[in-house]
C-alpha cells in the first residue's frame, strides 16, 4: 500500500496528493491524545528524527527508532521507491505484559526525487507486542511471505454463534502450532500480573472479546503464582470440548481473578 504513496510523491513532486492529511508535528505530542486507538492513521509530517534515534518528544515521552531505513523497491520493475523506518512511542512509564504501544511506520523517497525532503509519510497505529514483533520481522527481511501458522495468533478473542465452537477454534490453534512447538511470544507472565496490565479498558474490542495469549502455567491446587495485588483461582474445572464427530478435542477451564483483600 505504501508503495502507492511513495510513487504518488514521485509523480506529484511539489504538489502533494489530495488524500494526504495536512502537516502535523506528531513528534511533539502524545499520540494517545492525537489519534484514535481503533484505527491506523496516515499523515505526512516533518520527520525531525535525530541521529541518536530519538525525536523531540513531549512531556509524557518521545519517539525512538526501532527499525532503521529499509530500501523499498517496486516488485515488478525493481525500481527504488524510497525508504522505510519504524519508531515506537516510549512513555515515561513502561507498559507491562501485553499492553499496546504506539508505532509509527515512516516512509520517505530519495532526496533527488523529493523536493520536499523535509517531509515524510507516516502510518501510526496502536499495536500489541506480538504485532510489533511481526512488523519488525518483516522489516528486517526482504521476503514477502507471511509468518507461518505456528507464529500467528489472533490478538482478540472471537465470538462464534455456538459457544462450544469457540473452544474448538482455540484448540485448533494449539494443534496447528505443532504441539510443543509454541510461538516465540509464548508467556507465563499472564499468571503473575494483575489483569488490568494486560487488558486496556479503553479498548472496546479488548473489553468485549478479551485478549488471546499463549501461556503455560497452572497449578493443581487451583491457585496460580499470583502477584502482589491478587491471584487467579479456578472456578470451573475442566470441561470437555468435542469435535463435530463427538471426539474429545481438549478441555476448557475457567479462572477468576481475586484481588488481594477478597482472596479466601
**Per-residue pLDDT tens digits for 100-121:** 789 998 888 766 665 555 667 8
Q: Which of 16-20, 75-79, 130-134, 253-257 has the lowest mean pLDDT?
A: 16-20
* Domain-located, residue 264: no
In a shared domain, residues 155 and 133: no
- Of 95, 117, 139, the residue at which a domain comes to its end is 139
* Domain-located, residue 145: no
Res. 97: pLDDT tops 50: no
The DSSP line for 157-203 is: ----SSHHHHHHHHHHHHHHTTTT---TT--SGGGSS-GGGTS-TT-
Q: Do the beta carbons of residue 90 and residue 63 sit within 8 Å?
A: yes
Specify the pairing of strand 230-242 against strand 41-45.
Answer: unpaired
In a shared domain, residues 91 and 164: no
For 229, the domain range is: 150-259
In a shared domain, residues 14 and 122: yes
In a shared domain, residues 9 and 109: yes
CATH of the domain at 7: 2.170.150.80
In a shared domain, residues 26 and 127: yes
- Of 100, 120, 139, the residue at which a domain comes to its end is 139
In a shared domain, residues 110 and 213: no
- Of 105, 139, 173, the residue at which a domain comes to its end is 139
Domains in the chain, number: 2
pLDDT tens-digit readout, 235-263: 888 888 888 788 888 888 888 888 876 64
Amino acid at each position: 500500500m505504501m508503495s502507492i504513496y511513495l510513487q504518488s510523491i514521485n509523480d506529484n513532486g511539489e504538489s502533494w496528493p489530495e488524500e494526504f492529511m495536512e502537516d502535523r508535528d506528531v513528534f511533539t505530542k502524545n499520540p494517545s491524545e492525537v489519534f484514535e486507538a481503533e484505527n491506523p492513521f496516515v499523515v505526512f509530517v516533518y520527520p525531525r528524527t535525530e541521529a541518536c534515534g530519538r525525536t523531540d518528544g513531549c512531556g509524557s515521552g518521545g519517539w525512538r527508532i526501532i527499525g532503521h531505513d529499509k530500501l523499498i523497491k517496486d516488485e515488478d520493475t525493481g525500481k527504488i521507491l524510497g525508504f522505510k523506518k519504524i519508531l515506537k512511542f516510549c512513555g515515561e512509564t513502561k507498559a507491562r505484559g501485553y499492553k499496546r504501544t504506539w508505532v509509527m511506520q515512516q516512509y520517505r523517497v530519495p532526496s533527488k526525487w523529493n523536493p520536499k525532503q523535509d517531509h515524510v509519510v507516516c502510518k501510526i497505529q496502536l499495536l500489541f507486542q506480538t504485532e510489533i514483533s511481526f512488523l519488525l520481522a518483516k522489516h528486517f527481511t526482504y521476503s514477502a511471505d507471511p509468518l507461518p501458522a505456528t507464529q500467528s495468533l489472533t490478538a482478540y478473542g472471537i465470538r462464534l454463534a455456538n459457544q462450544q465452537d469457540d473452544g474448538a477454534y482455540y484448540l485448533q490453534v494449539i494443534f496447528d502450532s505443532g504441539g510443543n512447538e509454541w510461538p516465540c511470544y509464548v508467556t507465563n507472565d499472564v499468571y503473575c500480573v494483575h489483569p488490568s496490565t494486560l487488558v486496556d479498558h479503553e479498548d472496546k474490542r479488548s473489553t468485549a472479546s478479551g485478549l488471546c495469549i499463549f501461556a503455560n502455567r497452572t497449578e493443581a491446587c487451583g491457585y496460580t503464582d499470583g502477584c502482589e495485588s491478587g491471584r487467579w483461582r479456578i472456578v470451573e474445572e475442566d470441561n470437555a470440548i468435542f469435535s463435530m464427530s463427538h471426539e474429545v478435542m481438549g478441555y476448557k477451564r475457567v479462572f477468576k481473578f481475586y484481588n488481594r483483600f477478597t482472596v479466601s
